[in-house]
Amino acid sequence: MTIQIELRGVNKHYGSFHALKDIDLSIAEGTFVALVGPSGCGKSTLLRSLAGLEKISTGDLKIAGQQMNGVPPRKRDVAMVFQSYALYPHMTVEENLTYSLRIRGVAKAQAKKAAAEVAATTGLSHLLGRYPRELSGGQRQRVAMSRAIIRHPKAFLFDEPLSNLDAALRVHMRKEIRALHDRLHATSVYVTHDQIEAMTMADHVVVMRDGIIEQQGKPLDLYDAPVNKFVAGFIGSPAMNFIPAMVGDDGKTLALDLGTVRGILTVDRTLQPGRKITVGIRPEHIGIAEAGQGSFDVPVAVVESTGFTAFITAATTPELIVVETGRSTVRPGDMVGVRISSDQLHLFDDATGVRV
Ligand code: ATP
């Protein structure tokens, strides 16, 4: 597979602030990559460095095999789609689309033809004569994408393109962007702070924190085997439960500390007796049983039912969140047994957060 974008040992300093720390990243041609992480982790800085809008401090950055350090944005042959759309308000949709071609010297008739072709792909044909103020948020987003597509760039760079849209339109547009990516066989790099967007849209997810890449891989690989507590807590909704625990004298049991509730779980390996562990359990991997019938009993604090799914929060410290599919008859104040199977546990070192 051809590598389209390659970063080796990339660092970015803003004065004394170290925003990107030794980033290594290879993006294969045609891949949809999501850069995800909490606010300030450096994902936009990384994207803007690819676009040439930020100058990297050290390291190598290649696009299509060519060294890009020092190459200005317009010579990089990448197209950026922003959350603000950055459309020209005084130009029609068609003029917004043809503008970048016209300034490159493409003849008017040819530019109009290209605009019509792209508009047909993105469902804008009937809106070519409108001004941005006459469009909905989703339509503006489509114009912004069309303007990127018309240039046939080597890569599309998306900077949180859906964050200005309401929830329903966001869900719709993420499917549309992904479908467009598949049709164009483009290389796409997509920045978002929304892990669901990253998980549902991308082939490859890069989780960042504090300027470093914590983990990268296929979405479900990150979900199934997070390398540390941070990634475990970041990927998945509702978030993974984390419970402090200590390894028992036999090395095969974990004594959970849930405040007044004490639970014992058996693990499928031998650990050092007395070692402190953080046990991670995804809410959907915990089942509800009659009191006395599960691994241990907990009092129920809150039951939130969405219809198909019920989220049950136990009155423990830390809170334990359980997901039950189907209609739940559990009520606040009930004592219920929780069923936890040992093969669904994620164990992290208490001090370092690294997967055990
Ligand atoms: P968000 O989701 O909030 O946009 P992000 O992960 O995209 O966050 P960046 O915009 O890449 O984060 O910023 C990374 C860090 O670099 C932040 O701590 C930010 O304050 C800092 N930073 C960004 N631009 C500059 C700048 N021009 N000068 C100084 N610090 C900056």
ipTM of the complex: 0.96
Same domain, 212 and 109: yes
What is the DSSP secondary-structure string of 127-151? GTT--GGGS-HHHHHHHHHHHHHTT
Q: Which atom of ligand 1 is nearest to the CA of 15?
A: 29
b/e for 32-54, b at 16 or more Cβ within 10 A?
Answer: bbbbbbeeebbbbbbbbbbbbbb
Same domain, 71 and 169: yes
Q: Check pLDDT > 80 for residue 242.
A: yes
What domain count does the chain have?
Answer: 2
Q: How many CA atoms lie within 13 A of 235 on its CB side?
A: 29
For atom 23 of ligand 1, the residue with the nearest CA is 45
Same domain, 111 and 204: yes
Distance 110 CA to ligand 1 centre (A): 40
For atom 30 of ligand 1, the residue with the nearest CA is 14
Same domain, 45 and 83: yes
Longest CA–CA span in the chain (Å) reads 80
Distance 20 CA to ligand 1 centre (A): 10
Q: Check pLDDT > 80 for residue 113.
A: yes
Q: What is the dihedral of CA 39, 165, 148, 216, to 10 degrees?
A: 40
In a domain, 34, yes or no: yes
User: Quick one: pLDDT at residue 167?
Assistant: 86
Q: Residue 74: pLDDT band by 50, 70, 90 thresholds?
A: confident
Pocket probe for ligand 1: among 44, 212, 214, the residue whose CB has the most ligand atoms within 8 Å is 44
Same domain, 218 and 245: no
Task: State pTM to two decimals.
Answer: 0.92
For atom 20 of ligand 1, the residue with the nearest CA is 40
Pocket probe for ligand 1: among 10, 12, 13, 14, the residue whose CB has the most ligand atoms within 8 Å is 14
Helical (H) or strand (E) element with 167: helix 167-184
Same domain, 87 and 197: yes
Q: Residue 64: pLDDT band by 50, 70, 90 thresholds?
A: very high
In a domain, 356, yes or no: no
Q: Is 161 in the pocket of ligand 1 (CB under 6 A)?
A: no
User: Quick one: pLDDT at residue 342?
Assistant: 84
Same domain, 201 and 266: no
Residue range 147-152: average pLDDT? 89
Domain boundary among 204, 234, 264: 234
DSSP state of 343: G
Which pair of tokens denotes residue 242? Answer: 């984390």
In a domain, 27, yes or no: yes
Same domain, 229 and 307: no
Distance 78 CA to ligand 1 centre (A): 21
In a domain, 354, yes or no: no
Give me the residues paired with residue 62 across strands.
6, 67
Q: Parallel, antiparallel, or unpaired for β 204-209 and 187-192?
A: unpaired
In a domain, 355, yes or no: no
Pocket probe for ligand 1: among 20, 43, 55, 207, the residue whose CB has the most ligand atoms within 8 Å is 43
Q: Residue 32: pLDDT band by 50, 70, 90 thresholds?
A: very high
Domain boundary among 234, 257, 278: 234
User: Quick one: pLDDT at residue 173?
Assistant: 85
**Do the beta carbons of residue 32 and residue 188 sit within 8 Å?**
yes
**Residue in the structure block whose two tokens are 């089942």:** 287
Same domain, 71 and 110: yes
Same domain, 28 and 98: yes
For atom 14 of ligand 1, the residue with the nearest CA is 42
Q: In Å, what is the CA distance from 201 to each residue of 5, 6, 161, 271?
A: 19, 21, 13, 38
Domain housing 287: 241-349
